[in-house]
């Protein structure tokens, strides 16, 4: 990872705008998520179970979105 691109220049004393830009850069680079993932170690077997559960949720959501609504009459 390079340090280039993590700086935000504050212009006209507008710190709020600079903070919004900084947060957007951090989320675009997934740095915050990576930091949270590295805070504690997760065993590979547990990570597989978590990933499988997330995949199952995504699939159920996909199926739910694809089904037709019930006729309420």
Helices (H), the chain: 15-28, 31-38, 44-66
pLDDT, tens digit, 9 for 90 and up, residues 37-51: 899 999 999 999 999
The pLDDT mean for the chain works out to 87
11 — pLDDT class (breaks 50, 70, 90): confident
Cα angle, residue 41 at apex, residues 4 and 52 outer, rounded to 5°:
100
What span, in angstroms and rounded, lies between the C-alpha atoms of 69 and 60? 15
Q: What is the pLDDT of residue 50?
A: 96
What is residue 27's predicted lDDT score, i.e. its pLDDT? Answer: 87
Q: In Å, how far from its chain's centre is CA 46? A: 20
């Amino acid at each position: 990872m390079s340090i280039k691109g993590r700086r935000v220049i504050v212009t006209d004393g507008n710190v709020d705008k600079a903070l919004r830009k900084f947060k957007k850069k951090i989320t675009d680079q997934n740095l915050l998520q990576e930091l949270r993932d590295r805070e504690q170690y997760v065993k590979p077997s547990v990570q597989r179970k978590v990933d499988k559960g997330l995949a199952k949720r995504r699939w159920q959501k996909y199926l739910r979105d694809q089904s037709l609504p019930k006729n309420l009459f």
